[in-house]
Amino acid sequence: MNYSENYYDTNDLSDEDLLETFTPASEVEGPKDIGEFEEEELERLKQTGIDLTTPDRTGTFIQTNSSVQKCDCESPGVELLPITEALKKYDGLKDYWWKLVSAEKDTFTREADQELDNGYFIRALPGEKVIYPLQTCLYMRNENIAQRVHNIVIAEEGSELHIITGCSTHPHLKSGLHIGISEFYVKKGAKLTFTMIHNWGENVYVRPRTGIRVEEDGVFLSNYISLKGVKSVQTFPTATLAGPNALARFNSVIVAPEGSDIDTGAKVILKAPGSRSEIISRTISFGGRVVARGHLVGLAANIKAHLECQGLILAEHGVIHAIPELEAHVADVDMSHEAAVGRIAQEEIEYLMARGLDEEEATSTIVRGFLDVRINGLPPELNKELQEVVEECHKGM
């Protein structure tokens, strides 16, 4: 699909213009190591789920602009490398490189193909069950740069891994472009949880392009959280459930302040019998625009898939556009969706007021609940972080 044709084009710049506008990250020198980060930057990363002080991390990868400052992994069960090194070590990663996302997909994939800055390579070795999450951070530190990354994640047979990815910009940075190609391979019986927290500057353009392949009995859980202002995000990860009983679940919590245009969603192709999927999004507009997509494609018998888009508009001029799609190619499927957008129902507010809460308390109780989505399968330490981010967001409301 050509994004520029099929997506609303509320941006003032075409895809080509965007590339012209920003300086390649490779032309701007990044810091030598994380010791150069200022206090407010570390605080910023923390808000994005990246904690450099906690011992509860299996490993850490930090890329600023185009250079990698940190790439350490304590667990022998996980291999963590900058993608440029992995390409050398594994002879171009022939079975994985551009296999789930086409390099010819659009302007941004072509750009990433030709002008790669870096990215991460993560591989959980067969049977390894890693308890603490691995954290990866893609950070843009300078104004008006274009960061182009390509990530490969492989969960080998029977492995279990949680990855927290924080994508952020310097606290005082306003403008930039982030292009992120990610390809996830979840092999037989493996389980991969991927939590992505976006925390961008208000004039940043974000263009992730993501493909996922899940084999027999494999599980892929994606949590996407974006609570701060951003100029424009376009993301539409596509997962293929290739083996029997594979499972993919996408949860997203998205807040769009005024001036933000966030076009997100997921597509899941249920190819194998018994595979299951769930796409759940909770979106709030404080004046910005959210497109919440979901496309489930049932190609095999006995699959089960559900789609849920719930949107709250909490300020004038806010737009929430829910686009749930169900596509069944065989009869014996269980596919459903529900979508609802609008303001908080007066009935709900009055219900809580009848128990003694004032209008403000009632509203914030409902919003907090709304944001506290059923991110089932989120390990407790991640859950805590999400809560912290949600609380953080509340302070700003």
Tell which one of 18, 173, 366, 386 touches other proteins (CB under 8 A): 366
Should residue 372 be labelled a site residue for other proteins when binding is judged by CB under 8 A?
A: yes
Could you tell me the smallest distance in angstroms from the CB atom of residue 350 to other proteins?
5
**How many residues comprise the chain?**
397
Q: Is the dihedral of CA 96, 101, 104, 107 positive or negative?
A: negative
Q: Which stretch binds other proteins (CB under 8 A): 59-67, 69-77, 197-205, 351-359?
A: 351-359
Should residue 391 be labelled a site residue for other proteins when binding is judged by CB under 8 A?
A: no
Residues 6+ apart with CB under 8 A from 9: none
How many chain residues touch other proteins (CB under 8 A)?
Answer: 27
CA-nearest of 139, 142, 175 to 50 is: 139
Should residue 316 be labelled a site residue for other proteins when binding is judged by CB under 8 A?
A: no
Could you tell me the smallest distance in angstroms from the CB atom of residue 365 to other proteins?
6
Q: How many Å apart are CA 285 and CA 182, to the nearest integer? A: 27
Tell which one of 345, 384, 387, 397 touches other proteins (CB under 8 A): 345
By the 10 Å C-beta count (0-12 exposed, 13-18 middle, 19+ buried), 66 is classed as: buried
Tell which one of 53, 355, 380, 395 touches other proteins (CB under 8 A): 355
Q: Which stretch binds other proteins (CB under 8 A): 99-107, 127-135, 227-235, 341-349?
A: 341-349
Could you tell me the smallest distance in angstroms from the CB atom of residue 178 to other proteins?
30
Could you tell me the smallest distance in angstroms from the CB atom of residue 317 to other proteins?
25
Q: How many Å apart are CA 158 and CA 80, to the nearest integer? A: 18
Tell which one of 325, 350, 388, 391 touches other proteins (CB under 8 A): 350
CA-nearest of 316, 375, 365, 312 to 339 is: 312
CA 255, distance to chain mean position in Å, is 13
What is the C-alpha radius of gyration for the chain, rounded to an integer number of angstroms? 20
Contact footprint for other proteins (CB under 8 A): 282, 310, 345-348, 350-359, 361-362, 365-366, 368-374
